[in-house]
A and B are shown apart, each in its own frame.
Chain A
């Protein structure tokens, strides 16, 4: 995550400035891959070097409380009960059975037989319970415990050597356990310690870790997917900013760069030694209009704001064209998504009319944003708002202040959430159980529908509930979701197995990537 600080001027080592000028003019955007990718069958061997942006954090290796690059490193070290499909649904991974009961108030999870951790211990129910208890331990104070805050720690039960049962607090239901537990629910043995014994069941086991710089891993021979991972070794190298990482990629010092900046796409596409993979994810970006602060307590003002946003321009300028417009609703990939709601148009007239009706001509609002990629979109939006007679003042504050005690009190603030299903995404945004609700949207009918959906494993029935909930969000919610962002990953043409998907994890699937020997 690049922030305002570590900046560096970029130098490619094979393009002069003149060449650069030419490039700007002839970017046709035709091919997405720079050259013929060496596809075909996976090949074993080699050391796969992945470059990640760690910003200023040194990071750690904790499975349940990863910091900075620790999140990506977790994909090498740890496995979970489920894993992500390319369409943001989940499939079983370590578990051979994971199902909720009829009203989703309890989940039963059974692990596959004969699975081991990196140090040889067989995975059993004790380890499963230990992992869950650790994730939700208030003394560990993991920020990701909030996602599974519904789990009742005292009601976790071991049913047999490979099976556990999970129940939720106050007998409530919680259908999206898979999506919320996947991300940070790495299964670790009972003798786990993030610093002295960072052991898991992931595709690679740790060989060496230098915080803030790099880490080295070797293949775990007893990984639960036979024949995988492919590369003998994995090395994750941390960069402080995007520019130096692209330079390293082009110089062949790394093989994969996860999450490259859109500005570099033209350069990367033109380089025949590299491939660019553009994942059309359903991660969204938007603005939170705070219902607790005037004038956004008036639904007409909120609708006016949603109408005055030129979404295509926001995508073009804010995301450099790498994205698709959105309709103020999240999770379009979810089977329960309401495709029947028409795309909100860009309508300045209507926006002005609504503002007049609400008595808010000549409106001034403050948009508070942390430094980083979201600033561009904020600036573009401020420009657009001018055309409707609204003055938006963009105020940048420190990341720590932005997420500080005032985080639910900003008048307008940017918000983005990675690709997740409806129920899980709502936990980040406007659900009644949300970890934090920057738009302070508390609609009784919506809350009721949400709670019912939480308890409804049946897809058809849940669909009806979510459809209505989304209509409410669209008509009177506080989220101005203008676009879905693409994730760009770049890699050497020697790397195989890198395919675009709807999740953000295309280049994190270390058990699927391989190195062709050229």
Chain B
């Protein structure tokens, strides 16, 4: 936490989270209220102008962060949880199971994830939970590989061997020696997952496969308002900037954590 980069990243991320969470209360109008002319220019009453149907862009912006946020956080968390479990399982168990899990992970990784997600979402529909599930499935193989490699590396170190020689049970070794020491790379990777998650989810929305209207969502706003970019650019630029800032913040945070743990020489591969 001392690393300036970590602080900067945390600050930026929390700022965007605050906008997303508190936004709906601060918004002057409801996100679906049509209160102005189509693609109206910014005025005193509407600082960012109006969008493709006459909604107040500022209100929609303030209400649009929650879906991006919860979806990326849940997708990243799900991927981390499932991937870590499978990765640990692979790294620390019998050769057969290890081979099988690793092989499945490799097969999934062989395929560009955006295309996989596109295929599934385009066919099965745009329910938010489905999108989240698909995105996290796309991320799981990477987490498996990371968790497995980290676990294997940690498990090969002397202090673990020592613990084994001292007769501690496997479960105890797992929870007390291995898990705490792979936490840091996993945490760094969680930051990456958040960044990629935001990117992929907003990319999906941009292509028209994310959440469906009339939900307010930053990625969807970019999609909805593209046609009027030259007439009313704020409807596209404002959500784009927020997405970018959030991705940047989580990334810096992840980097900062990685750096600080490397600096303190924590036990890790």
The segment from A152-160, A297-305, A379-387, A409-417 that touches chain B is A379-387
Is A31 interfacial (CB-CB < 8 Å)?
no
The distance in angstroms between the C-alpha atoms of A380 and B32, with both chains bound, is: 9
Given A9-B226, A10-B230: A4 and B209 within 8 A (CB)?
A: yes
Is B91 interfacial (CB-CB < 8 Å)?
no
**Number of B residues contacting the other chain (C-beta, 8 Å)?**
31
- Contact residues, A1-45 vs B (CB, 8 A): 3-5, 7-12, 15, 17, 19-21, 23-25
Chain A, residue nearest B123 (CB): A398
Contact among A4, A15, A317 with B54 in the assembled complex (CB-CB below 8 Å): A317
**Number of A residues contacting the other chain (C-beta, 8 Å)?**
41
- Contact residues, A391-446 vs B (CB, 8 A): 394-398
B38 to chain A, nearest CB (A): 6
A151 to chain B, nearest CB (A): 38
Q: Which residues of B contact A243 (CB under 8 A)?
A: 226-227
B240 to chain A, nearest CB (A): 10
B126 to chain A, nearest CB (A): 7
Q: Majority SS of interface residues in chain B? A: loop
User: B34 and A396: CB pair below 8 A?
Assistant: no
The segment from B59-67, B139-147, B231-239, B261-269 that touches chain A is B231-239
User: B208 and A261: CB pair below 8 A?
Assistant: no
User: A380 and B229: CB pair below 8 A?
Assistant: no
Is A376 interfacial (CB-CB < 8 Å)?
yes
- Complex interface bits, A117-135 against B, C-beta within 8 A gives 1, otherwise 0: 0000000000000000000
Is A263 interfacial (CB-CB < 8 Å)?
yes
Given A9-B226, A263-B227: A25 and B41 within 8 A (CB)?
A: yes
User: B229 and A9: CB pair below 8 A?
Assistant: yes
- Complex interface bits, A352-374 against B, C-beta within 8 A gives 1, otherwise 0: 00000000000000000001000
Chain B, residue nearest A384 (CB): B34
B208 to chain A, nearest CB (A): 3
Is B18 interfacial (CB-CB < 8 Å)?
no
- Complex interface bits, A230-249 against B, C-beta within 8 A gives 1, otherwise 0: 00000000000011000000
B211 to chain A, nearest CB (A): 10
Contact among B38, B54, B214, B230 with A394 in the assembled complex (CB-CB below 8 Å): B214
- Complex interface bits, A477-514 against B, C-beta within 8 A gives 1, otherwise 0: 00000000000000000000000000000000000000
User: B230 and A7: CB pair below 8 A?
Assistant: no
The distance in angstroms between the C-alpha atoms of A379 and B212, with both chains bound, is: 11
Is B199 interfacial (CB-CB < 8 Å)?
no
B268 to chain A, nearest CB (A): 42
- Contact residues, B204-263 vs A (CB, 8 A): 206-209, 212-214, 223, 226-233, 236
The distance in angstroms between the C-alpha atoms of A264 and B39, with both chains bound, is: 11
Q: Which residues of A contact B32 (CB under 8 A)?
A: 379, 382-383
User: A24 and B231: CB pair below 8 A?
Assistant: yes
User: B233 and A263: CB pair below 8 A?
Assistant: no
Is A218 interfacial (CB-CB < 8 Å)?
no
Given A7-B206, A316-B38, A394-B213: A380 and B53 within 8 A (CB)?
A: yes
Sort A-B residue pairs by CB-CB distance and give the 5 closest, nearest first. Answer: A4-B208, A20-B230, A263-B227, A24-B41, A24-B231
Is B33 interfacial (CB-CB < 8 Å)?
yes
B228 to chain A, nearest CB (A): 5
B152 to chain A, nearest CB (A): 42
Is A98 interfacial (CB-CB < 8 Å)?
no
Is B40 interfacial (CB-CB < 8 Å)?
yes
Chain B, residue nearest A377 (CB): B53
Is B156 interfacial (CB-CB < 8 Å)?
no
B221 to chain A, nearest CB (A): 13
Is B52 interfacial (CB-CB < 8 Å)?
yes
Is A375 interfacial (CB-CB < 8 Å)?
yes
User: A263 and B41: CB pair below 8 A?
Assistant: no
Given A7-B207, A380-B53, A394-B213: A242 and B40 within 8 A (CB)?
A: no
Is B125 interfacial (CB-CB < 8 Å)?
yes
The distance in angstroms between the C-alpha atoms of A312 and B2, with both chains bound, is: 60
The distance in angstroms between the C-alpha atoms of A157 and B122, with both chains bound, is: 49
The distance in angstroms between the C-alpha atoms of A383 and B55, with both chains bound, is: 11
A397 to chain B, nearest CB (A): 7
Q: Which residues of B contact A267 (CB under 8 A)?
A: 230-231
Listed A/B pairs (9) with beta-carbon separation below 8 Å: A23-B231, A24-B39, A24-B40, A263-B39, A263-B227, A267-B231, A317-B34, A371-B208, A396-B212
Is A266 interfacial (CB-CB < 8 Å)?
yes
B112 to chain A, nearest CB (A): 18
- Contact residues, A38-85 vs B (CB, 8 A): none
- Contact residues, B19-39 vs A (CB, 8 A): 32-34, 38-39
Is A142 interfacial (CB-CB < 8 Å)?
no
Contact among A5, A15, A395, A398 with B207 in the assembled complex (CB-CB below 8 Å): A5
Contact among B33, B212, B227, B233 with A242 in the assembled complex (CB-CB below 8 Å): B227
A460 to chain B, nearest CB (A): 44
The distance in angstroms between the C-alpha atoms of A321 and B54, with both chains bound, is: 12
B214 to chain A, nearest CB (A): 5
Q: Which residues of B contact A4 (CB under 8 A)?
A: 207-209
Besides A4-B208, A264-B227, 7 more A-B contacts (Cβ < 8 Å) are: A9-B229, A9-B236, A20-B232, A263-B52, A313-B34, A320-B38, A376-B52
Q: Which residues of A contact B40 (CB under 8 A)?
A: 24
Q: Which residues of B contact A379 (CB under 8 A)?
A: 32, 53, 213-214
The distance in angstroms between the C-alpha atoms of A383 and B229, with both chains bound, is: 24
A396 to chain B, nearest CB (A): 5
Q: Which residues of B contact A5 (CB under 8 A)?
A: 122, 207-209
Contact among A3, A20, A261, A398 with B227 in the assembled complex (CB-CB below 8 Å): A261
Q: Which residues of B contact A320 (CB under 8 A)?
A: 38
Chain A, residue nearest B124 (CB): A398
The distance in angstroms between the C-alpha atoms of A266 and B231, with both chains bound, is: 8
- Complex interface bits, A154-173 against B, C-beta within 8 A gives 1, otherwise 0: 00000000000000000000
Q: Which residues of A contact B41 (CB under 8 A)?
A: 21, 24-25
- Contact residues, A321-349 vs B (CB, 8 A): 321
Q: Which residues of A contact B34 (CB under 8 A)?
A: 313, 317, 380, 383
Given A317-B34, A371-B208, A376-B53: A17 and B233 within 8 A (CB)?
A: yes
User: A15 and B230: CB pair below 8 A?
Assistant: yes
Q: Which residues of B contact A23 (CB under 8 A)?
A: 230-231
The distance in angstroms between the C-alpha atoms of A187 and B52, with both chains bound, is: 44
B45 to chain A, nearest CB (A): 15
Contact among A12, A263, A371 with B228 in the assembled complex (CB-CB below 8 Å): A263
The distance in angstroms between the C-alpha atoms of A376 and B52, with both chains bound, is: 9
Q: Which residues of A contact B226 (CB under 8 A)?
A: 7-10, 243
A328 to chain B, nearest CB (A): 23
